[in-house]
Structure 1
Amino acid sequence: MSMAESQLHSKMPLRMVLMGVAGSGKSTVGEALAKRLGATYYDGDDLHPQANIEKMSRGEPLTDEDRWPWLTKVGERLGEAGDTLIIGCSALKRIYRDHIREKAGATVVFIHLSGSRKVIESRMGARTGHFMPTSLLDSQFATLEVPGEDEHAVTADIDQSLDDVVREIVEKLEAYRA
């Protein structure tokens, strides 16, 4: 790691959640951001109970009751992190983000990947092998509560190249110290 990269890494928060509706690019951006920061990226979808995956695969939106065990696992994984960790997790409501913070027991910065329904629907239609059908996008947008100014959050516009999305996030994260 170069000196500049080391300095950049030391300025970054230790625990981050890439959040947004399905299709906003959490996995793609998460992997690229982790590489840029020398962090570990973990896909929060891998923490879903099988019952949740089956429900979403049938086109049924999750309820809050379905989400709590998953959000608990996300928060606990963040709390166990010994190094810089980024987890992709929709975290659509403030109460979900508060729960993740509580379970992590540490400062968590949320990175909201924001885009228009048209852009996200196009991306969802192009991807393969994911359990979340495009039909659930309406419920995702209906559930989304954009992070407030008091939430340790930054927002990045996804309607740009991957490199530009990552660059925007890194610039905004420089305001936070680990």
Structure 2
Amino acid sequence: MKSHNYVVILVGVCGTGKSAIGEKIARVLETPFFDADKLFAENLPAGKLGQDMNRNKWLNSIIDLIGKQSKLKGCVVSCSVLKKEDRLLLDNNINHQLDWIFMKGSYEFVAERIENIEDHDRPASLIKADFETLETPKRALTVDMATSEEDILNTILKYMVRKYE
């Protein structure tokens, strides 16, 4: 399917499977995958993400990363860009077509999923705050995390094919 420098950004609260799906989409699109939530993770307290500590630095790092990758092979990025203003900042500062995928899941679904994942980066107790912060994207392909991983992958890939082929 590689005929374009795709830049796919999977957004949603932590625990919706953005990284797992993102890695698989990146393989199909023949592009690198990046988990932007883990930028600066080596210097952070347990349970904290880059955006928790220094939001502007984190967003600028995502802009730089995508800017560089869009000129190479493109990329797939997962990140918890939960606010509309942050997504607009990325849109307005990256000179490349961005394909937004919103990974939608209920609080109960996500909390249960996190409880079942060993060594998850973010404890379930912090997920409630993520849901309170979330401003659902209006201009994104929305996929329901309650469906199978195969259905989610097929939905995203069909969307990409219709858009670019």
TM-score above 0.5: yes
- For 2:161, the aligned partner's letter is E
Q: What is the deviation of 1:112?
A: 0.5
Identify the residue that residue 3 of structure 1 maps to in structure 2.
Answer: none
Residue 62 of structure 2 corresponds to residue 70 of structure 1: no
Uncovered stretches (5+) of structure 2, i.e. residues with no partner: none
- Residue by residue over 1:59-108, the C-alpha shift from the partner in whole angstroms, topping out at 9 and shown as x without a partner, is 9x937xx2221111111111101113001101101111112223322221
2:96 paired residue among 90, 100, 106: 106
Uncovered stretches (5+) of structure 1, i.e. residues with no partner: 1-5
- Residue by residue over 1:117-142, the C-alpha shift from the partner in whole angstroms, topping out at 9 and shown as x without a partner, is 11111111111223311111111011
Q: What is the deviation of 1:49?
A: 5.5
Q: Distance in 2 between matches of 1:67 and 1:18?
A: 18
- For 1:22, the aligned partner's letter is C
Q: What is the deviation of 1:48?
A: 3.2
1:92-103 aligned at under 5 Å gives the runs 92-103=82-93
Residue 162 of structure 2 corresponds to residue 172 of structure 1: no
Distance 1:68 1:111, change over 3 A: same
Q: TM-score, normalised by structure 1?
A: 0.80
Q: What is the deviation of 1:39?
A: 2.1
Residue 75 of structure 2 corresponds to residue 88 of structure 1: no
Distance 1:31 1:76, change over 3 A: same
Q: Distance in 2 between matches of 1:157 and 1:45?
A: 21
- For 1:18, the aligned partner's letter is L
Percent identity between matched residues is 27
1:1-178 aligned at under 5 Å gives the runs 6=1, 9-10=2-3, 14-48=6-40, 50=42, 53-54=44-45, 57=47, 62=52, 66-81=54-69, 82-149=72-139, 153-177=140-164
Q: What is the deviation of 1:58?
A: 6.6
How large is the RMSD of aligned CA atoms in angstroms? 2.4
- Residue by residue over 1:11-54, the C-alpha shift from the partner in whole angstroms, topping out at 9 and shown as x without a partner, is x6621111100100011111111122222111112313655x31
Distance 1:139 1:86, change over 3 A: same
Moved over 4 A (4+): none
- For 1:72, the aligned partner's letter is N
Q: How many residues align?
A: 162
Q: Secondary structure at the match of 1:57?
A: coil
